[in-house]
Amino acid sequence: MNFSGENVSTTDVEAVIQNHMNLTDCTVFGVSVGNCEGKAGMAVINAKNKEIDFKQLAHQLIQRLPSYAIPLFIRITDSVELTGTYKLIKYNLRKVGYNPELTDDQIYFLDRSNENYIPLDSKLYQMIESGQIRF
């Protein structure tokens, strides 16, 4: 995986999220962002009926991962497609990416200035895609 020009072990990122949240269904992959080089990290977390403290999650990721490995986007879902060996299927997740118009799931964006994940709406999505928000 390549986030912002650096190689990233998605397994390491998944492990930090899974350990912090005490869950098993999480997958991490890269998504293309506007005209940026490389890919931005995105985590999809199956957190059905689970309260998530996004500020604390951001804090843990910032403390435990290099800055280039921290997912910029987090998608919360209550159902995921699994393979016969119980691995999450990433194809459809990658296809949707971080576009909030293509899913009913809530997507969050890392606000680095406040070290918190904030809800991603259509306006924020357009600002990211157009380059008004840069990484």
Indicate the average pLDDT of the chain.
85
Q: What is the DSSP letter of 78?
A: S
Is residue 43 included in any domain, yes or no?
Answer: yes
Is residue 77 included in any domain, yes or no?
Answer: yes
pTM of the complete model: 0.87
Distance CA 101, CA 28 (A): 20
Domain count, the chain: 1
Is residue 126 included in any domain, yes or no?
Answer: yes
Q: Which stretch of 1-15, 29-43, 59-73 has the lowest confidence by average pLDDT?
A: 1-15
Is residue 135 included in any domain, yes or no?
Answer: no
- Evaluate if residue 87 carries a pLDDT over 90: no
Residues 14-41: what's their mean pLDDT?
Answer: 85
CA angle at 123 for the pair 117 and 126, rounded to the nearest 5°:
95
DSSP H or E stretch at residue 96: helix 91-96
Here the CATH number for the domain that contains residue 14 is: 3.30.300.30
pLDDT in tens, 36-51: 777 899 999 988 767 8
Residues 13-34: what's their mean pLDDT?
Answer: 86
- Evaluate if residue 111 carries a pLDDT over 80: yes
Give the range of the structural domain holding residue 89, as residue numbers without chain letter: 2-130
